[in-house]
Amino acid sequence: MTMTSIDTTSIYNDILRPFSVYSHGIDMKNYELLRDAFVPDGLWVMHDMTEIRGHEAIIEKLEAVAKIPGRPQQGLHTFHNLNMRIVGKTVESTANWIFTSRQEKGGPWSVESVGQYEDTLEKVGGKWFFTRRRIINWNL
């Protein structure tokens, strides 16, 4: 049986869930939400190719980054131009992202960085999760 466009649309819509959970978790600094974006032993590859594996390590890294002096008070990640490819039981995807921020509440927003995500996702218990997410920062 071949996959129809309806099936592909359904997968595409389901794939959006971990992307949104990831962005909202980081933007709201509610890093516990990332447990619902990554599999428990998921791999997060930073722009410098540092590999961080597993929920606890990912959350710990984000908490440490948030404490760096001079970090924006508020940030907003948006993703767009999602391209995905079904490879057996996994999905490989790329998406562009923009990170806007402001230093103080009520202050002006500015684009801080732009780049691309390279992701691998798997369906577990009826939901899609990142097994690997690589961040490419075009500003660096």
Size of the chain in residues:
140
Give pLDDT tens digits for 32-48. Answer: 999 999 999 999 999 99
pTM of the complete model: 0.89
DSSP result, 4-73: PHHHHHHHHHHHHHHHHHHHHHHHTT-GGGGGGTEEEEEEEE-TT--EEESHHHHHHHHHHHHTSTT--S
Q: Which are the contacts of 44, defined by CB distance < 8 A and separation ≥ 6?
A: 38, 51, 52, 53, 58, 61, 133, 135
Q: What angle do CA 98, 104, 106 make, to 5 degrees?
A: 90
The enclosing domain of 20 has a CATH number of 3.10.450.50
Number of domains in the chain: 1
- What range does the domain containing 40 cover? 5-137
68-121: per-residue pLDDT in tens? Answer: 898 888 899 999 999 999 888 899 999 999 999 998 888 999 999 999 999 999
